């Protein structure tokens, strides 16, 4: 309850900040976008990761206003990145509770309107499991989101139970392969390599793009390139960084 009160106060005191992790074209290594990742700049405990507060934010439903803040802030900051960065996408994580809430669609609309961000640049990341447990609601909602022009990514893909028919029936733009499939590849073909290859071919067959997350080695990056993955995200190329630290990179995007 203490943390919950703290969390409520933190929203009012504007103690949350966004960090950004770059996403790169696997062939050219060009920066293609950023994923926004929330942190809590706690007055006494220091910078807290989502693991320390997202569970409580979910249980207390504070994830709804917090999620709206993240959406608005990410859109606002991305729209301000300057004319040379107009091609960069901005990915925002959306929790199950948030996307089931009736305020979600209006919140997306409001974040786009307030920021003036080109809707095509916004990618909403929903975890595979949260979409699966709400497949009916997801279908309707996704149709509305597509009408706004935003893109939809299935996050942590491969950890849930998606069926091909479900993937075909929903207007999903991007599959993000979960980082648990990214453990180091040996000389021998490991099951995860087969899995990654199947996912890439399936996605491309359904007109979707594939992002691999958790890429930590150049061996993984090379393999993903060979398998035809579209973009990669991971500590190898960039860690999540505060806004001031990515601004230097943004200046180089000309
Ligand atoms: O940034 P980090 O790797 O510590 O993130 C841990 C988890 O928190 C990840 O699963 C990530 O998806 C989630 N997360 C980060 N930022 C947000 C956010 O703004 N909203 C939601 N719902 N989840 C987030
Ligand atoms: O669930 P989601 O994909 O949103 O999780 C994003 C989280 O993954 C962030 O908290 C980020 O810190 C973490 N992350 C990003 N790249 C890597 C990586 O290369 N290795 C590991 N172990 N974690 C990563
Ligand atoms: Mn994510
Ligand atoms: Na993920």
Dist. CA 210–CA 175, nearest whole Å: 5
Ligand 2 pocket, residue 234 CB under 6 Å: yes
* pLDDT interval class at 105 (50, 70, 90): very high
pTM for the model stands at 0.95
Dist. CA 150–CA 121, nearest whole Å: 7
Most confident of 104-108, 161-165, 189-193: 104-108
Res 156: pLDDT: 95
- Average pLDDT over the chain, rounded to whole? 93
Domain count, the chain: 1
Q: Which ligand is nearest to the CA of 33?
A: 3
What's the average model confidence in pLDDT over 175-204?
Answer: 85
* pLDDT (tens digit per residue) in 221-242: 999 999 999 999 999 999 999 9
Ligand 2 atom at minimum distance from 176 CA: 3
Q: Answer yes or no: is 138 within a domain.
A: yes
Q: Answer yes or no: is 148 within a domain.
A: yes
Q: Could you give the dihedral angle defined by the CA atoms of residues 120, 121, 127 and 131, in that order, rounded to the nearest 10 degrees?
A: -20
Burial 203-234, CB ≥16 within 10 A → b, else e: beeeebbbbbbbbeeeebbebbeebebbbbbb
Ligand 1 atom at minimum distance from 95 CA: 22
Which residues, 6+ apart, have CB-to-CB distance to 23 below 8 Å? 31, 32, 33, 34, 35, 89, 91, 211, 231, 232, 233
* pLDDT interval class at 82 (50, 70, 90): confident
Ligand 1 atom at minimum distance from 51 CA: 6
- Please report, in angstroms and rounded to a whole number, the separation of the first and last CA atoms in the chain: 48
Q: How far is the CA of 163 from the centre of ligand 4 (A)?
A: 19
Q: Answer yes or no: is 192 within a domain.
A: yes
Res 192: pLDDT: 87
Of 209, 216, 102, residue with least CA distance to 157: 209
Res 189: pLDDT: 59
Q: Answer yes or no: is 48 within a domain.
A: no
Q: Answer yes or no: is 248 within a domain.
A: no
Dist. CA 56–CA 107, nearest whole Å: 21
Q: Answer yes or no: is 253 within a domain.
A: no
What's the average model confidence in pLDDT over 90-102?
Answer: 95
Instruction: Tell me the CATH number at 127.
Output: 3.20.20.450
* pLDDT (tens digit per residue) in 51-70: 999 999 999 999 999 999 99
- pLDDT value at 254 more than 50: no
Structural domain harbouring 86 = 21-35+64-238
Please provide the size of the chain in residues. Answer: 254
What's the average model confidence in pLDDT over 72-83?
Answer: 92
Cβ-in-10-Å burial (0-12, 13-18, 19+) of 113 comes to exposed
The single residue listed with the structure tokens 């706690």 is: 42
Q: Answer yes or no: is 42 within a domain.
A: no
What are residue 106's phi and psi, to 5 degrees?
Answer: -60, -35
Taking the CB of residue 66, how many other CB atoms lie within 10 A of it?
A: 24
Q: How far is the CA of 189 from the centre of ligand 1 (A)?
A: 31
Ligand 1 atom 20 nearest Cα: 93
Q: Answer yes or no: is 102 within a domain.
A: yes
What's the average model confidence in pLDDT over 154-158?
Answer: 95
């Amino acid at each position: 309850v203490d943390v919950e009160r703290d969390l409520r106060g933190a929203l009012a005191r504007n103690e949350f900040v966004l960090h950004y992790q770059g996403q790169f074209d696997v062939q050219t290594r060009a920066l293609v976008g950023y994923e926004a990742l929330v942190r809590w700049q706690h007055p006494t405990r220091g910078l807290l990761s989502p693991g320390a507060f997202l569970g409580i934010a979910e249980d207390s439903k504070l994830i709804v206003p917090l999620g709206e803040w993240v959406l608005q802030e990410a859109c606002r900051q991305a729209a301000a990145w300057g004319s040379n960065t107009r091609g960069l996408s901005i990915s925002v994580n959306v929790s199950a509770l948030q996307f089931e809430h009736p305020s979600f669609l209006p919140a997306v609309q409001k974040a786009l309107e307030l920021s003036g961000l080109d809707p095509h640049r916004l990618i909403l990341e929903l975890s595979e499991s949260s979409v699966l447990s709400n497949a009916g609601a997801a279908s309707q909602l996704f149709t509305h989101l597509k009408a706004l022009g935003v893109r939809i990514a299935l996050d942590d893909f491969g950890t849930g139970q998606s069926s091909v028919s479900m993937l075909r029936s929903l207007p999903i733009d991007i599959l993000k392969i979960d980082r648990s499939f990214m453990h180091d590849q040996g000389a021998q073909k490991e099951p995860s390599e087969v899995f990654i290859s199947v996912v890439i071919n399936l996605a491309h067959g359904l007109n979707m793009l594939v992002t691999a997350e958790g890429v930590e080695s150049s061996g993984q990056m090379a393999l993903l390139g060979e398998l035809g993955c579209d973009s990669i995200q991971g500590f190898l190329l960039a860690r999540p960084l505060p806004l001031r630290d990515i601004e230097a990179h943004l200046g180089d995007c000309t």
